[in-house]
Amino acid sequence: MENFSVLWTGSGLANLSGGQFVMILVGLLLLFLAIRKGFEPLLLIPIGFGGILANIPEAGLALSAAENAIHMAKPEVLAAMGSALEVPYNAAMDITPEVMQSFKEAYKNASVEMVTAANAVAVDNGYSDGMLYSFYSVAIASGVAPLVIFMGVGAMTDFGPLLANPKTLLLGAAAQFGIFATVLGAALLSWTGVMDFTILEAAAIGIIGGADGPTSIYVSSVLAPHLLGAIAVAAYSYMAMVPMIQPPIMNALTSKKERAIKMSQLRAVTRQEKIAFPVVVLLLVVLFLPDAAPLLGMFCFGNLMRECGVVERLSDTTQNALINTVTIFLGLSVGSKLSADKFLDLQTLGILGLGLAAFAAGTVCGVLMAKAMNRFVKEPINPLIGSAGVSAVPMAARVSNKVGLENNPQNFLLMHAMGPNVAGVIGSAVAAGVMIKLLG
Amino acid sequence: MENFSVLWTGSGLANLSGGQFVMILVGLLLLFLAIRKGFEPLLLIPIGFGGILANIPEAGLALSAAENAIHMAKPEVLAAMGSALEVPYNAAMDITPEVMQSFKEAYKNASVEMVTAANAVAVDNGYSDGMLYSFYSVAIASGVAPLVIFMGVGAMTDFGPLLANPKTLLLGAAAQFGIFATVLGAALLSWTGVMDFTILEAAAIGIIGGADGPTSIYVSSVLAPHLLGAIAVAAYSYMAMVPMIQPPIMNALTSKKERAIKMSQLRAVTRQEKIAFPVVVLLLVVLFLPDAAPLLGMFCFGNLMRECGVVERLSDTTQNALINTVTIFLGLSVGSKLSADKFLDLQTLGILGLGLAAFAAGTVCGVLMAKAMNRFVKEPINPLIGSAGVSAVPMAARVSNKVGLENNPQNFLLMHAMGPNVAGVIGSAVAAGVMIKLLG
Amino acid sequence: MENFSVLWTGSGLANLSGGQFVMILVGLLLLFLAIRKGFEPLLLIPIGFGGILANIPEAGLALSAAENAIHMAKPEVLAAMGSALEVPYNAAMDITPEVMQSFKEAYKNASVEMVTAANAVAVDNGYSDGMLYSFYSVAIASGVAPLVIFMGVGAMTDFGPLLANPKTLLLGAAAQFGIFATVLGAALLSWTGVMDFTILEAAAIGIIGGADGPTSIYVSSVLAPHLLGAIAVAAYSYMAMVPMIQPPIMNALTSKKERAIKMSQLRAVTRQEKIAFPVVVLLLVVLFLPDAAPLLGMFCFGNLMRECGVVERLSDTTQNALINTVTIFLGLSVGSKLSADKFLDLQTLGILGLGLAAFAAGTVCGVLMAKAMNRFVKEPINPLIGSAGVSAVPMAARVSNKVGLENNPQNFLLMHAMGPNVAGVIGSAVAAGVMIKLLG
Amino acid sequence: MDNVMSMAIDLMLSGMGFVFAFLIILVFATTFMSKVVVRFAPEEPATPAKTTPRARPTGPASVDPDTTEAIKQAIAKYRSNHKK
Amino acid sequence: MDNVMSMAIDLMLSGMGFVFAFLIILVFATTFMSKVVVRFAPEEPATPAKTTPRARPTGPASVDPDTTEAIKQAIAKYRSNHKK
Amino acid sequence: MDNVMSMAIDLMLSGMGFVFAFLIILVFATTFMSKVVVRFAPEEPATPAKTTPRARPTGPASVDPDTTEAIKQAIAKYRSNHKK
Ligand code: NA
Ligand code: NA
Ligand code: NA
């Protein structure tokens, strides 16, 4: 019967490409790592699931209406699309792979007006935006989801340990070297001809070294949206692997004696200081780096809601229903970028390798900075807390604490490490602002 | 005074049409049924209230800016709209009912580009989208609200009873006959000339037999948006009436002895099976029915969040704040389709009648399937759980249990009926995918 | 190095205008008032913070993509924008302040189609909508945020005291004189040439006298969006200052003996009455004032969800996660209207002065109405509850109670004052509907 | 200018008129509604039956009001102390 | 009209066929999955180790289940009484 | 290619320079802010007065901290056990 053949020719089994098969396995792997190994499950479960959905053959969930229309390639529709996208094609011509390619290229490079026209044609012909494409448009292309999550992170962050010892901000600064070392690494791969990255792509990859999910997603959505999937997956995976990546580096760079340094207890911080801190950060952003305003502004806003004590109901919602809702759609949207043609690329391998290097470089610099600071300050700093400067809150601080306890069972570094840990969040948002300013 | 005459001529009392009056009574009836009789109040209260709002004369809450401009019929605005919609009209012409009709027709059949242009003209002239129209666009026309609710339903569904006895999936399959019998019924009404339904309309009406609110709304928003109001009202009303519709059928088709069949206790299901199940369903969707991917994908995603145990905060939000918020706007949006000119139509009567037939047919097939299965399986199935295959979770399962207890006070069928009950949800999502594939 | 100069020339320090500096101080003042003085913190913290963000130099957070492109003034981009906006400019011409001004004017007065085209050009050239501009578009320009908050307020309002003594509705009516007196005051300022307000602006300013945040924001977003920032700030500030503004007026207009009037205890109100009341209000809106339907419709819907007792999960979400989320974005969006060029205007001074007058006039009329009613009713009314008719729920009712206790330590007026207090909410929504009907 | 003034006066007259008209009608409608409700749908006595249509997630009746009040206060206290 | 009828019959045949096919495959897939799971990933014994990957915000082990149950009921009661 | 390399070096220098500059300024600004706060707005003693601006929905002062702690733990326990 005709209907059965329609169902069969439209089924996944009849259309599954090798790339899609591999990407579905990647999605399953991410789910496995999240569920069994506890790898950042809040993000990797939506990302992994979204990745599988994005690779369902013929479903086109990650495609716009126009992209779906091009994929289906009905001659009369293509002809109408052709006039919208200025592709020389009429319904009598053969649909060769070259024709398809020229449509895809034309759509990718089209102006906003042409994209609008092409989608109007597609909708008139019964195509519609895929679900994940809609989520991506609303959540990420608009920039709003990472910013709302950053607001929630701000509302969950306690700057007390940082305020008690502000000089640990410098550890958060040093660890950002991971970001720029990675940019350099990507450029080097380009220069030596191993891979091909533009400076925009290099910068977006570098931000993985910031060890901060929403910042990574925000920056790559601005500078290199086509790499967003790989960058987000790398960022969250390596954040989950911080307990494996950092300890060997920390041990290699420090002596047993340094690791045993006991830090004096942090002073109590008043409520007024906690209220004033996000305002101070905001004012510095106003004065020095307007391009970091969206990220740091929302972060400080969340933190002010937390600390001011008079809007607890807003703070509660920000930390719960709102951040959870946005996390779900952010994750699924990131997953939409895991389609085979975008992810299965040599560049992804480069991104994964460079991301690992970024984390290592950030850790190295954080630890070395702590050692360097010990030459100048009278109250010595345990260099193990330097590694927490990469951010990856609160995992990196816990790693500092754990390695510290291995060397001195009485030495609790957790609160000391929280200072550089949250400083790293500010540091990478500043680095993000610089990169968007200079390249965006 | 002039102002008072403006207020009077713009008041509801001076403009209320008979249709609007009747629809306001229908809205009040839905509120009454929801509040006093407990008919699916979570949906019927927003739908009923939205229905009243949609019928407020002159308020135009359910109309787009362009529709509001056409309704107000200022000659110079109509002339500008005419050039956008290619209606031959100039400001000097009389505004006859035929002219108004031709504008309404032109707008309904216009291409996306013409609709955009007409709305731009309307906004330039001070008109704006009605509140319910905006809700509908965001919540339903985009397809997102039913999908998010389906995700929430997934997060609230326990597949344990189904996993303990997977062959009850077949009961969920059989009960979907209600869907296709209704399609046939609608076609028959068309064929005999009683009413006039296209195959798209027939399919959208059929999905009422799926006994699943979000699936019904999703399918009718794709296949027959103009019938959405009547279909949603019928779906939720009959779901609420399951305890009245099903028992007579169940008793008529079964013998006392069959109804007294005692089923052995279900085996314990491991956590790993529950985690794996949504992934298995997803993979089958990938392989066999990509068109069911949005519905079943979100459903499985919600269920995986529930079962995996590592993202409880996401699962909690999905089951509470998120689904509640979306339910409110989904309900109001459905209500926007209860405007008199769309609802007070012979078709609505047909839909209400066919919807009832759909529930009955699904119940019949579920029960008969259970009786048929008893010829092949060694562990007998109480045919009363077959009726739960229509879904209407958890109402239908409770009905099975209640009828069972009436025949054997020691026989608790609830958990056994939950298997076919949730199978029915999967079954109707599959049926929805097939219909969208073949007709969408 | 070149990069440093880019960073410097783009920094806030190098670009901060005097107006922006002042507005940042205003933002800090609002934060101070909210945190230390408890001035309506739920709104003033987001508004104040948003105000600071909107005034970050060069960040353009409150500007659309096209406005950002105009601000950056690259000749080739301006030339493209010029053809979209019909401004005579080519890339070879000098960019004088007059040219810039003509672009800004052209954009402000452009049709929807031209605005769309200009933004498409801007996006093609790498500009994007500022974060706060996006929030404003979604939350306020669409009208949705004030309506959702009004739904939440409805879900938090107990009409019991009003139902026990329905004639206190008249106090809520009388206090709306504050609204119209302010309209008259604004017109008077215009007539005498002190300031220049159109009737639309006068009406939007008047609504401050309604003492109801979402109503004020909704009306000014419809009638005078450019004044929204000043109007919202005035409305919330004066609401916070009700305990300072009202008591002197109340004491001046009443005798010691009147203030000591003891009111008999309110009768118990049944649950059915509470359920029926929002439906009654809705039906009156249907019959008499369709233009109040969005505001009062959502308000009644929220209240029905609260009282009907069968949708507690919807009611809970409406009162918590949903209203909190919307409040955050509403506040930030209002803040986006606090940019220096819009706020630092003689009109703002007029708005602040008239807003104070509005509160005073509303209080006067409420009290006098109560005294007038005492001539006709047998059960005397304590005129102190008349002031609660301005709304400002529940602050104004508490003020009535406090002033009452100062005169008679046994006289608890709180519940009696809640009647006119919530009546004031309905009253100002009706007034808003009238103004939108006659002017919108 | 004069025009603004006269429009404002018109707006005030029609606005206050309409607000009063609407709320006076509401007074009568509410009073009438209350009478109808009390007449035709008298409040059920305050037995458990009353709350049947009300969603009661899982709450068994075995917890007495005092305990409830204690918990309520404790939760309020806990929440107000939380996140300082 | 005739066309609608034949399309509806086609739709019914292919629809029911597909629904049954899909769910029968799902029966086998589920049964197979359960066997694999039971074979290769047997349920860990109910020790604390089992719940390691489960997010446990702050809950210390010192509160016994009975207390939990009491609180649970109290909260349920409290919530059902709240906002009446 | 060479171009990408030199741009990357430039980006690194200006980026790290700016990050350090910003955070060093922040160290000073924070230290200064803390001094100002301690000087001009000393923490009020821990009396009820302190928490005046803090939103206290309904919590009466009659529940002692121990009870609060017990409830807190119970709730945490309850939440971690819930929906398994
Ligand atoms: Na970082
Ligand atoms: Na079903
Ligand atoms: Na008011």
Residues 6+ apart with CB under 8 A from B229: B51, B334, B335, B336, B337, B338, B339, B342, B343
| E77 pLDDT higher than 70 | no
CA distance C348 to C228: 10
Please give the pLDDT value at position F59: 31
Pairs across B and D, CB distance < 8 A: 15
The one-letter amino acid code at F46 reads A
For helices B97-109 and B75-85, give the axis angle rounded to 10 degrees.
40
pLDDT score for B90: 87
Q: Can you give the pLDDT at residue C59?
A: 92
Beta-carbon separation of C111 and B124 below 8 A: yes
Q: Side-chain half-sphere of B350: how many Cα atoms within 13 Å?
A: 23
With bands split at pLDDT 50, 70 and 90, how would you rate the model's confidence at D67?
very low
Q: Which of residues 141-170 of A touch F (CB under 8 A)?
A: 162-163, 166-167, 169-170
Alpha-carbon span D4 to A119, nearest angstrom: 47
The answer to whether A432 and A223 are in contact (CB under 8 A) is: no
Distance A263 CA to ligand 1 centre (A): 23
Summarize pLDDT for A356-391 with one digit per residue, the tens.
999 999 999 999 999 999 998 888 899 999 999 998
Residues 47-106 of C with CB under 8 A from A: 49, 52-53, 55-59, 61
* pLDDT for residue F77 is more than 70: no
Taking the C-alpha atoms of residue B139 and residue B332, their distance in angstroms, rounded to an integer, is 10
Chain E residues whose beta carbon lies within 8 Å of the beta carbon of residue F82:
72
Cβ-defined contact of B112 to A134 (cutoff 8 Å): no
Quick check: C435 and C200 in contact, CB under 8 A?
no
**Nearest Cβ partner for C35 among A111, A275, A437:** A275
Two tokens at A186? 């990507």
Closest chain C residue to the Cα of B122, Cα to Cα: C112
Q: Tell whether the model's pLDDT for residue B176 goes beyond 50.
A: yes
User: Any chain E CB within 8 A of the CB of A36?
Assistant: yes
The predicted-structure confidence for B197-221, as pLDDT tens digits, reads as follows: 999 999 999 999 888 999 999 999 9
CA max distance for chain D: 72
Cβ-contact C167, C416 below 8 angstroms: no
C419 pLDDT exceeds 90? Answer: yes
Cis upstream peptide for C75 (omega within 30°): no
Q: D51 pLDDT exceeds 60?
A: no
Contact with chain F for residue A38, Cβ under 8 A: no
**Between residues F31 and E47, which one has the greater pLDDT?**
F31
- Subunits in contact with chain E (3 or more CB pairs closer than 8 Å): A, B, C, D, F
| Residue at B179: amino acid letter | I
Q: Mean pLDDT, chain C, as a whole number? A: 92
The CA distance from A82 to the nearest CA of chain F, in Å, is 35
Calculate how far, in angstroms, residue C393's C-alpha sits from the geometric centre of ligand 3: 9
Restricting to B residues 298-327, those with a Cβ less than 8 Å away from any Cβ of E are 309-313
Lowest mean pLDDT among A322-331, B111-120, C256-265: C256-265
For chain C, what is the HEC assignment?
Answer: CHHHHHHHHCCHHHHCCHHHHHHHHHHHHHHHHHHHCCCCHHHHHHHHHHHHHHCCCCCCCCCCHHHHHHHHCCHHHHHHHHHHHCCCCCCCCCCCHHHHHHHHHHHHHCCHHHHHHHHHHHHHCCCCCCHHHHHHHHHHHCCHHHHHHHHHHHHHCCCHHHHHCHHHHHHHHHCCHHHHHHHHHHHHHHHCCCCCCCHHHHHHHHHHHHCCHHHHHHHHHHHCHHHHHHHHHHHHHHHHCHHHHHHHHHHHHCCHHHHCCCCCCCCCCCHHHHHHHHHHHHHHHHHHCHHHHHHHHHHHHHHHHHHHCCCHHHHHHHHHHHHHHHHHHHHHHHHCCCCHHHHCCHHHHHHHHHHHHHHHHHHHHHHHHHHHHCCCCCCCCCHHHHHHHHCCCCHHHHHHHHHHHHHCCCCCCHHHHHHHHHHHHHHHHHHHHHHHHHHC
B171 CB contacts (<8 Å, ≥6 apart)? B366, B369, B370, B373, B381, B385, B386, B388, B389, B419, B420, B423, B424
Give me the pLDDT at residue A214, please.
92
DSSP A21: H
Which pLDDT does position D23 carry in this prediction? 95
Find, among A359, A291, A186, A221, the residue nearest to F8 by Cα. Answer: A186
**In E, which residues are within 8 Å of B274 by CB distance?**
none
Q: Which range has the worst mean pLDDT, A337-351, E9-23, F66-80? A: F66-80
Question: pLDDT at residue A275 above 80?
Answer: yes
Cβ–Cβ below 8 Å for B131 and C147: yes
Task: Give the mutation candidate from E13, E34, E54 for the B interface (greatest B CB count, under 10 A).
Answer: E34
Mutate one of B277, B283, B313, B435 to test the E interface: name it (highest E CB count within 10 A).
Answer: B277
Cβ distance of D53 and B38 shorter than 8 Å = yes
CA distance B220 to B208: 10
How confident is the model at residue A124, as a pLDDT? 95
Quote the pLDDT of residue E59: 31
pLDDT tens-place string over residues A296-307: 999 999 999 999
Residue D45 pLDDT exceeds 70: no
Please check whether residue C286 touches F, CB under 8 A.
no
Q: Per the CB < 8 Å rule, is C35 touching F53?
A: yes
Tell whether C192 lies on the interface with F, counting CB pairs under 8 A. no
Q: How far is C14 from chain D (nearest CA, A)?
A: 38
- Tell whether C45 lies on the interface with A, counting CB pairs under 8 A: yes
**A137 burial level (CB within 10 Å; 0-12, 13-18, 19+):** middle
- From chain A, pick out residues whose CB is under 8 angstroms from the CB of B138: none
A to B CB pairs, distance under 8 Å = 120
Residue C234 to residue C346: CA distance in whole angstroms: 14
Nearest CA to C51 out of C315, C301, C320, C340 is that of: C340
Please tell me the number of the ligand nearest to residue A299's CA.
Answer: 1
Q: What is the pLDDT of residues C176-206, one digit of tens each?
A: 999 999 999 999 999 898 888 999 999 999 9
Is the pLDDT reported for residue F20 higher than 80? yes
Chain D hits for E74, Cβ within 8 Å:
63, 67-68, 71
Per-domain boundaries in chain A: 15-140, 144-439
Residue A3 near chain E (CB below 8 Å): yes
- The pLDDT value recorded for residue A377 is 85
In the predicted structure, residue E62 carries a pLDDT above the cut 70: no
Q: Are A336 and A138 in contact (CB under 8 A)?
A: no
Query: Residue A397 is encoded by which pair of tokens?
Result: 């601080």
State whether E71 and F78 contact (CB < 8 Å). yes
Interface membership of B378 toward D (CB under 8 Å): no
Interchain proximity B317–A325, CB inside 8 Å: yes
Min distance B127 CA to chain D CA atoms (Å): 22
Burial of B238 (0-12, 13-18, 19+ CB in 10 A): buried
| F84–B309 CB contact, under 8 Å | yes
- Cα of F14 to nearest chain C Cα, Å: 6
Interface test with E, best of A1, A2, A3, A37 (most E CBs within 10 A): A3
Range of weakest confidence among A65-74, C376-385, D58-67: D58-67
Q: From the CA of B321, how many Å to the nearest CA of chain A?
A: 6
Residues B72-84, mean pLDDT to the nearest whole number = 93
Judged by CB atoms closer than 8 Å, whether chains meet at D83 and A271 is answered as no
Question: Closest Cα of chain D to E57: distance in Å?
Answer: 15
Mean pLDDT of B301-306: 97
Å between B423 CA and nearest CA of chain C: 26
Q: State both tokens at E74.
A: 């109290």
User: What's the pLDDT band for E4 if we cut at 50, 70, 90?
Assistant: confident
Reported confidence tier of residue F27, pLDDT bands at 50, 70, 90: very high
Which C residues, 319 through 348, put their C-beta within 8 Å of a C-beta on chain A? 320-321, 324-325, 327-328, 332
- Would the CB atoms of A170 and F11 count as touching at under 8 Å? no
Note whether C154 and C298 are within 8 A (CB).
yes
Q: Which residues of D touch E (CB under 8 A)?
A: 54, 56-60, 62-63, 65, 67-68, 71-72, 75
- Give B167-234 as a DSSP string: GGHHHHHHTTHHHHHHHHHHHHHHHTTSS---HHHHHHHHGGGG--HHHHHHHHHHH-GGGHHHHHHH
Model confidence band, residue C172 (pLDDT cutoffs 50, 70, 90): very high
Burial of E64 (0-12, 13-18, 19+ CB in 10 A): exposed
Residues of C in Cβ contact (< 8 Å) with D1: 190-191, 193
- Residue C78 reports pLDDT greater than 90: yes
**Which residue from F82, B155, A315 is spatially nearest to E57, judged by alpha carbons?**
F82
Give chain A's mean pLDDT.
92
Which chain F positions have a beta carbon within 8 Å of C36's beta carbon?
53
Q: Which ligand is nearest to the CA of A359?
A: 1
Cα separation of C97 and C73, whole Å? 11
Size of interface B-F (CB pairs under 8 A): 5
| Angle formed at CA A20 by CA A19 and CA A24, multiple of 5 degrees | 120
Total CB pairs under 8 A between chain C and D: 133
How confident is the model at residue D80, as a pLDDT? 52
Query: What percent of chain F is predicted at pLDDT more than 90?
Result: 36
